[in-house]
Amino acid sequence: MKEIKHKRLILCGRIAAVLAVVPILMLGHPDGPDPRNTGAPGDKTCAQASCHVGPGNPTAGSGVEISFPGGLTYSPGVKQTITVRVTESANRFGFQATARPGSNLSNGQAGDFTATDERVQVLCEDGRVKTSACNSAAPVQFAEQTLAGSAANTWSFDWTPPATDVGTINFYVAGNAANGNGTNAGDRIFTRSYTLTPAASAPPPGIRAEQPVLQAFLGGQRLSPGTWLEIYGSNLATANKDWGGLFTENNTKAPSSIDGVSVAIDGKPAAMYFISPNQINVQAPDTIGLGPVSVEVTTPGGKATTTATATAVSPAMLTTPAFKVNGKQYIAALHQDRVFVGPAGLIAGASFRPAKPGDIVTIYTVGCGATEPASPSGVVVAGLRTPKAAARVTIGQATAQAAVALSPGSIGLCQVNATIPNVSNGDQPIELTLDGSPTGQGLFITVQQ
């Protein structure tokens, strides 16, 4: 397709003067330049003669940038999502990027590019759009914008570094801040390069022996399909990072790895929320078996494994260490106006109000188990999904009317809306059981007639 287009481009160049008013879509160069225009050794740039020439083109060192999730380092074989941004304002945008090993900056290919949405395509240097691999005789790859991708200034795609340490790797990128007039005139071209070094081989991860896996919400050493977990240890990650910017499938699917760190429970990938050197927060896969299951952490430094016992449900209601006041662990429940339930002033800086009989309070919960219809872990909840397990909320000695469902827009979070029964004033014990299995958290809720 590219050769035909290249000839068409030359042809277009000749007749452009004649047909300048022809809509760009038909000629379509915003649908991605030919290979070798990144400004790398052996390449030209978009500003080569008869292309996007203009005052100051190409400008080096600004106007376009690449963000690397792990900074200017790479871990051999560990895929990372690269983000390219043209930082100059314009009406239309384009880019082309390449990754070359320090040992062969003109014709070497370092790793593998993979387009992850319709806004980016990967070309081989022979001009073909890369499907599986580029021809080994012409291995260099070029990530660039597609027509769909020329309307906005930011693109993401995946890069898997070489499986072994090849020393330094140079990235080269050219960016086009175009005026959108459908021609190659009046556009500003920028170039930039980055040198990545292999990450110092990360130390092997370790999972602590004492209480290695705890359920969120102070939910103890419990695990059930789809619940939220905290895994504790050492060398689990080089820095704190959460899932921000890593969702896929139109922002509905959470990542299964962050900076090369991933967790498998019962051999199934967990949804990753947060990593740090000593703690990882994940959602357990909804497909794990029951009984003893393996919990395996993988990092660029290696693997660490422990076991935990899975049950069908493991309810835990939202609370945190901050809600332990004068030796009492209060629940972090919310009134419908989002004010916390509790004695006024319970925690400085937050608003609290006791609940009175008849009030409906919202209790966020994890460990609700399987739902109807099923709710795949790591996927944003859409529609009504109710736990298969029978729920019962008691406050004091009374049973509270309660409706339970997964919280829409959340991932794996159960929402219990409970009506406060007619119980006496004061801090009342509150418990939730699912199919008779209690939280065992010993929480209190403050009631005031």
The residues in 150-179 that bind ligand HEM, with binding defined as CB under 6 A, are 150, 174, 176, 178-179
Minimal distance, residue 113 CB to ligand HEM, in Å: 15
Quick one: 33 or 285, whose CB is closer to ligand HEM? 33
Size of the residue set binding ligand HEM (CB under 6 A):
28
Minimal distance, residue 22 CB to ligand HEM, in Å: 9
Quick one: 172 or 273, whose CB is closer to ligand HEM? 172
Minimal distance, residue 96 CB to ligand HEM, in Å: 3
Minimal distance, residue 136 CB to ligand HEM, in Å: 24
Minimal distance, residue 50 CB to ligand HEM, in Å: 6
SS3 of 380-429: the string is CCCCCCEECCCEEEEECCEEEEEEEEECCCCCCCEEEEEECCCCCCEEEE
User: What would the x/- binding string for ligand HEM be over residues 230 to 259, using CB under 6 A?
Assistant: ------------------------------
Quick one: 152 or 163, whose CB is closer to ligand HEM? 152
Quick one: 96 or 227, whose CB is closer to ligand HEM? 96
Quick one: 23 or 327, whose CB is closer to ligand HEM? 23
Minimal distance, residue 114 CB to ligand HEM, in Å: 19
The residues in 121-150 that bind ligand HEM, with binding defined as CB under 6 A, are 150
Quick one: 26 or 137, whose CB is closer to ligand HEM? 26
Quick one: 12 or 380, whose CB is closer to ligand HEM? 12
SS3 of 133-173: the string is CCCCCCCCEEEEECCHHHHCCEEEEEEECCCCCCCCEEEEE
Q: How far apart are CA 144 and CA 167, in angstroms?
A: 25
Minimal distance, residue 7 CB to ligand HEM, in Å: 12
**Residues 134, 125 contacting (CB under 8 angstroms):** yes
The residues in 409-448 that bind ligand HEM, with binding defined as CB under 6 A, are none
The residues in 5-64 that bind ligand HEM, with binding defined as CB under 6 A, are 12, 24, 27-30, 33, 37, 46, 48, 51-52
Name residues whose C-beta falls within 8 Å of residue 76's C-beta, 6 or more positions apart in sequence: 161, 162, 163, 164, 165, 166, 198
User: What would the x/- binding string for ligand HEM be over residues 78 to 107, using CB under 6 A?
Assistant: --------------xxxxx-----------
Quick one: 52 or 241, whose CB is closer to ligand HEM? 52
For 175-205, b where at least 16 C-beta lie within 10 A, e where not — what string?
A: bbbbeeebebeebbbbbbbbebebbeebeeb
Minimal distance, residue 180 CB to ligand HEM, in Å: 5
Quick one: 44 or 388, whose CB is closer to ligand HEM? 44
Quick one: 124 or 284, whose CB is closer to ligand HEM? 124
Which residue of this chain has its Cβ atom nearest to ligand HEM in the complex? 29
Quick one: 52 or 119, whose CB is closer to ligand HEM? 52
The residues in 172-231 that bind ligand HEM, with binding defined as CB under 6 A, are 174, 176, 178-184, 187
| Length of the chain measured in residues | 449
Q: What residues line the site for ligand HEM (CB under 6 A)?
A: 12, 24, 27-30, 33, 37, 46, 48, 51-52, 92-96, 150, 174, 176, 178-184, 187
